[in-house]
Amino acid sequence: MDPEEHPGGLTHLDASGAARMVDVSAKADTAREAVAEGRVVMRPETLALIQSGGMPKGDVLAVARVAGIMATKRTSDLVPMCHPLPITGVVLDLAPERGDTLRITARVKTTGKTGVEMEALTAVSVAALTVYDMCKAVDRGMRIEGIRLLEKLGGKSGHWRAE
């Protein structure tokens, strides 16, 4: 076993259990992509206000989309063991579901030595928090739910998709 490896396979811990950033310098640059999702559940009236552009703080969907994109680029500042990555593409989609839910999806791309799963999850999380922030004056009972990775492509482990 490599002395840098933790016996339990946790790559962010060394053999003594100390936190560390994984050394990816020997890995090849490859195309990487990740897709994440989450939902903001709210009163139907709140979703209607968002869709009509009637929220007092402005265009919720546009601001949340920009916030998610900006957060993608700052993931390594927020999550201690993440590597700073050159993000080559981010697509954020915010779409109504069931009359009381806003589904947020993020697709993030890079070419590099490590994946962009954390960046996609961060994009969704910050977009959802932005929706909450912009709408809390009319609906404090909103819930942010189901933030998860849906798919990742590239790298040594290849393609993975949630069931």
Long-range contacts of 108-111 (CB under 8 A, 24+ apart): 108/33, 108/34, 108/35, 108/72, 109/31, 109/32, 109/33, 110/31, 110/32, 110/33, 110/85, 110/86, 111/29, 111/30, 111/31, 111/32, 111/86
Instruction: Compute CA 60 distance to the chain's CA centroid, rounded to the nearest angstrom.
Output: 18
29 in active site: no
Q: Which helix (H) or strand (E) holds 119?
A: helix 117-135
Catalytic hit among 14, 93, 133, 139: 133
Catalytic residue IDs: 133
